[in-house]
Structure 1
């Protein structure tokens, strides 16, 4: 009873804390912004990459390699590399992140993880952001899940703190196709109203095998500007050593 009440309270805090993710590093599930609580098996690696273009001519190209290693517990380390154009100006950003699972997910119950990281300008070395997020996942079935994210963001360029939030739904409706829809954003004081407006994405993932997947995504207001975005993303996975089955092969999303 106490453990159940604790989980309900924790979920409530995650919802309350759900007030906003950042203009900095947002890689969560490839090109999607709302993260799931799961991480892959120790020893597995992957490289996620995507290209995004907006109706206001903004653009970004991202490569995000990651691996899961055992540091007293399994931890997924990633380093997002972002080349972007905003208002005609180009920038290059690096964003390291570490994520670990706290409570495994399962059908009919919530699972939790925690991740934290930051971003900095690759040319000047200036620290841009710091962030910490709790992703929670509730599996409705082997093919459907709901993801909830709540966290904190420090935009160091203007020295402002925000709450971050995200809500997403994944549905694997065939053996090779998955549909995702998500809303996310950040809440707090800002001189630019578009920065704190909610952001939306929906897309289809095509995954013909365990190694490769392709995403086609439509989004609105993704970088904090009121523009429409099209994203094409890929993921290449490197399985765990022979004889150790990866969680991602289990049939779950």
Structure 2
């Protein structure tokens, strides 16, 4: 795998794993929480957005633009903006993230990347959390992969540290449809039991071309509130002109 392909991989992974880091916003692979180790082409950009509603009336609307730059090594920079309602209270959080890939993925072997960031209250500027995560991906074939995530989260609102974890499975079962199932969460002391209980999501992505995709997702306990969630998400990509299509660089997924 050449340097250009390594740079391609760095882009995609950075934005994805804000989910395990910020209790009120998840953003790994769009609205999914478990990140892959793959990334995109230097110079490419994308805008992920989604809306989620819960059975307890909680709500979340997210916009997550990201671009891949190469100041010294390929890095994807993203800014997750989340307007949310929880227990009747509205908030807006900003979660900047940066990610890089250091072992490319491939069929029959593990690939690894790393990212770090934090979240802030948009109204007050208060630092709400800080996090660091290692995503790992094992490609079973061109259409199936397993993603593992492990990391650290500092929830500054309660001044507690957590271990974060995630496991996910992606299967592209047609040329345009992909199924994802994942479990994730955070381990540590908490006064609210549901905060440290496992969280779950499963959904289908429809991707008719290299530019656009849409996701429909069911989730459980997504932000540690012990409710059911329905999410509708979209991704619009702005690939580098003349770059090789993503599915040809990293397999069909």
Q: Same fold (TM over 0.5)?
A: yes
1:252 partner SS: coil
Measure the CA separation in 2 of the matches of 1:90 and 1:244.
41
1:244 partner SS: coil
Counterpart for residue 126 of structure 1: 126
1:165 matched to 2:165: yes
Paired residues in the alignment total 233
Measure the CA separation in 2 of the matches of 1:24 and 1:39.
24
Counterpart for residue 244 of structure 1: 243
Please list the CA deviations of residues 167-220 of structure 1 after superposition, one character each: whole Å capped at 9, or x if unmatched: 000000000000000000000000010100000000000000000000000000
Contact in 2 for aligned 1:37/1:112 (Cα 8 Å): yes
Counterpart for residue 176 of structure 1: 176
Measure the CA separation in 1 of the matches of 2:40 and 2:76.
8
Counterpart for residue 146 of structure 1: 146
Please list the CA deviations of residues 197-244 of structure 1 after superposition, one character each: whole Å capped at 9, or x if unmatched: 000000000000000000000000001111000000000000113x33
1:185 partner SS: strand
Counterpart for residue 89 of structure 2: 89
The 5 Å alignment of 1:183-222 reads 183-222=183-222
Normalising by the residue count of structure 1, what TM-score does the alignment of the two structures yield? 0.90
Counterpart for residue 35 of structure 1: 35
1:117 matched to 2:156: no
Normalising by the residue count of structure 2, what TM-score does the alignment of the two structures yield? 0.90
Please list the CA deviations of residues 18-59 of structure 1 after superposition, one character each: whole Å capped at 9, or x if unmatched: xx7541443110000000001101011000000000000000
Considering only aligned residues, what root-mean-square deviation do their CA atoms show, in Å?
Answer: 1.1
Measure the CA separation in 2 of the matches of 1:62 and 1:159.
25
2:252 partner SS: coil
Provide closer, same or farther for how the CA distance between residues 25 and 118 of structure 1 changes in structure 2, counting only shifts above 3 A: farther
Gaps of 5+ in 1: 1-19
